Amino acid sequence: MVTLFRRIRQKLIDSGSVTKYLLYAIGEILLVVIGILIALQVNNWNENRINKINESLILNDLQKEFRMNQVKLDSTISYHRVLLGATNEVLDLINEPEEVIIQHNPDSLIYLTLNYFDYSPSRSVISELISSGKLSLISSDSLRMLIFDWDSALGENEEAYDTMDEMSQNLTLPYLTNNGSMKEIDQYGILMGNGGSKFESRNYLLFQELEFENHMDNQAWGITNYLDKLHRLENVINLILKHTDTQANQP
């Protein structure tokens, strides 16, 4: 093809027709430009196709990670609802007669108010997206905003947990250590096999103290605040799963 163009160009030069040669030159330039545009279009199409494939893989990875995070979160929420119920039961027993308090196994209830744990979801997919710059491959602005919202909600959740833990470690546990029997309480947890205290336990007497009520009220507030942040995470997870599922199934 190039040889053919050269022959035509040479013939026009030899004929001495400037007009025909200029028209030919313009036509040749146009053909080159069209060829470049077609090449760019093909390249863009191929790049978009690859980006769509990579986006689909990313959405599938997000789906898998957040499905696991959802299961773990549901379990965490259910467990802390039980803890909040136990804490409220303790508060309901404040200043009740000794026989009423003992019927409710107060040591096990106190143990439950202290047996909270942190929610630690998987972050590997999102961390890799951000560090590699691949977050831009997600075409949905809403989904990208949800991912940032997830990170923000996790920060709020960690803050709520730290607040609850700080109150428990610095206020409630020192109070119980100084005024009650921790061994009687701990026998309902991982120290179950060690048995109760060798001293006479009167933890039920704590229920007659205003300071104990204050500590349990702090525990109830801390758990409730933590549950609120867990529910915020739950909402974000549900929205992310909805978006990733919808986009992953698009043609």
Q: Exposed/middle/buried for 77, CB within 10 Å: 0-12, 13-18, 19+?
A: middle
Cα separation, 221 vs 157, in Å, equals: 14
* Contact present, 222 and 167 (Cβ < 8 Å): yes
- Hey, how many other C-beta atoms are within 10 angstroms of the C-beta on 185? 27
pLDDT by 10s per residue, the chain, length 251: 545 445 555 554 555 555 654 555 566 666 666 767 676 676 666 666 776 888 889 999 999 999 999 999 999 999 999 999 999 999 999 999 999 999 999 999 999 999 999 999 999 999 998 888 888 889 899 999 999 999 999 999 999 999 999 999 999 999 999 999 999 999 998 877 777 777 877 899 999 999 999 999 999 999 999 999 999 999 999 999 999 986 555 54
The rounded distance, in Å, linking the Cα atoms of 157 and 194 is 34
Residue 251, C-beta contacts closer than 8 angstroms, at least 6 positions apart: none
Residue 2 is predicted with a pLDDT of 47
HEC string of 122-149 equals: CCHHHHHHHHHCHHHHCCCHHHHHHHHH
Task: Tell me the whole-structure pTM to 2 decimals.
Answer: 0.80
The whole-number pLDDT of residue 201 equals 79
